[in-house]
Structure 1
């Protein structure tokens, strides 16, 4: 995990992308944000020659490759596993089975998209601040 790296956001709803970007900007986070409309585009990007991202925020209901299948593919990729990129869900899809499936695929967090903008901002702040304080194996790499 690179605390100065990009935040990967996999979200197909442009209105949600806009609100998330507005929240990140208002909170003053300087991490670049990379938005992807589906799991396939995100997977292609993550398998490319990129610098280490800070974290991944993924919706579950996505076209082409949903967030759960994307997480499984990343989890089964030894190179990606060693990068220790936190994978969190930020979604409206909430039922018992979806939460079980998310954590079965080793998600590091599951957040329900808040309905108010202030709650979205608060959720983003909590997520980013938590992961900024968290130590991972690659925090010690030079």
Structure 2
């Protein structure tokens, strides 16, 4: 995992994407993190982006309910792509689906690293994002060939 790598946001809804970007930028600035935020509104473009980027991203934050390719199918495709899977990029869902037990079971069955509900309160939302980023900043991860990031 590249601690200063990009934070990939996969969100099809413009308003949700704008809010998420604004709050995440504040979290990064407040904590002096130098990660770049990459917004990808069309989930079908994610694989091409991940395959073409030279650096390993720091974190993927994905919505679940998206047209064309939902978050579950996208995660499955990343998981099945050996080169992408070997990068061990933390993948978390950030969704409005709430406490949907079937969604949670399906998500964790795809080896995601987190399932979070989008808070309605901006302060809570920012706190959640801060907790997610801070956790991955201190977590220890080795890629599939054993080299720590």
Q: Does 1:10 align with 2:15?
A: no
> Which aligned segments of 4 or more residues in structure 1 are displaced greater than 3 angstroms?
none
SS in 2 for 1:140: coil
Alignment partner, residue 124 of structure 1: 129
The residue aligned with 1:140 is: 148
2:12–2:43 contact (8 Å) kept in structure 1: no
Q: Is the 8 A contact 1:38 1:66 kept in 2?
A: no
Find the aligned partners of 2:68 and 2:93 in 1 and give their Cα distance.
17
| Partner SS, residue 72 of structure 1 | helix
Give yes or no for the alignment of 1:40 onto 2:44.
yes
Q: Secondary structure at the match of 1:89?
A: strand
Identify the match of residue 71 of structure 2 among 67, 70, 73: 67
**TM-score, length-scaled by structure 2:** 0.89
User: What is the TM-score when the length of structure 1 is the normalising length?
Assistant: 0.93
- CA contact under 8 A between 2:8 and 2:37: conserved in structure 1? yes
1:22 matched to 2:30? The reply is no
Q: CA deviation digits over 1:60-104, x for unaligned, max 9? A: 001111100000011111111110100000001231111111000
SS in 2 for 1:126: helix
Aligned length: 141
- Distance, in Å, in 2 between the alignment partners of 1:17 and 1:84 is 24
